[in-house]
Structure 1
């Protein structure tokens, strides 16, 4: 492999491999995000859809279908469905989190308003279900409908768990499986289902997506304290927003009385002052919380790669393996 090839990231290689399919997905997205009567819908949607995201989730659907030798048209519908669901959740999340920036740009709720973000998100959810129905597959509809419900459930659970020091690693994992991994898993699974792949391959694709999504979220939470421009966040954003993520959960579990009181003040009560983030970082290092979190992320990435073993030995499979490695590359 030459130096130029080595500089191309795994998701970029997959994007090039699926270029024709992705072009068809983009055409379909533009068609279906249009609105005859409410021009604000395409304005808000375009702001987020065309913000330069990796399109990882719809690529997973296309890749899974192609890996299972699908030659019909509906993998494009399903990839667009997955992107609409993802975009809808981002619009809603930014309202819930009162965010002002996403992917380095002002959020839709900041540029327009919360009402527009919520209602356009609802519109995209509705569009996603229209696209699902067009595939004519009840199994696909079942998978994506369940994923949509799980995503919403995970977000609501996070509302109650995010600032509660009693939140355990099991609850954190339930939140992550809801808010992130559910759509990764559904995205890969429906690709296999639409291709009528054997059950073992469909299950493997689902496992791959689940493990990849968990690893993806754990890395994102870890980098909030380690620091990386790749997340689009500043170091300590989660701390300032009082989000109880895995590194903090691990540190809280090992905290002495004085340390526990600090976490109660900073996370549960939100009475943060200058120097609190630095002190939090000291405690995370003291209890090896970030290293333990890193090891968990690597473990989930390994599970994702292992799941692919039952699938056809093809270039796409190796690209999916490389993506699992890439997700944890920043902390490896």
Structure 2
């Protein structure tokens, strides 16, 4: 069995509110990602996808569970001990305009992680930066351009080059094309898939676009109110979903000649979550036990995991 590159067990994040109240953004998440694997993370806005991404990279400290990267428990190790591992895990943010420092040129932005990690200096640094920009399709003339002189697609290519600078093994992509024009999105996605294949990258790909996730990821995890409610091979989960929420997400995707049906109701307030199954107030199939008992993530007859009382489970899901 291949040792996971990234392993999360019982991962959770709770924030303190005023008057002693709390809100749970992520709860009891188990994930395992082997080298070179691609995991898609989908769900409505506010379900906890971006928080989970930051937890996996230790950009946000977890309040529960543990995270292991390349066999090292990174959950609570000091930043100084974590720093050598950071070069092996990188993130590409949703909004490239916000991700780039407006005071730095494209060349300086790509050079920054190489300098911080002491990977190159002088002529070697300049050559490495030029090679990285060329790899993402930007010529040498972009080296001295500032972010305001770049298009949205060019900015995201600079962000990708910066993320690749330290030769990472893991990329977390948080809606990497949602801030771009539709005409540019396909170019960036095709380019990212080529990079993953040539570099052997593993990635966690966060997106609202289920078709893109199905195309680019072997496995998919569906999040609702901070929890994984369905997880398994992308073709199985998105081709024959078992959880009513996953079905609602797929029904909301516009199709030629069909009217998309939005998921019923509104997502609940995470500060006041429903009892039992969190989806029961919006679920057309909810039974009385759904209102009182929270379903565990279990392996269904199809072989993938689902958290729903209406799906017969054979055994509790485990890593």
TM-score of the aligned structures, taking structure 1 as reference length: 0.27
- Pick the structure with more helix per residue: 1
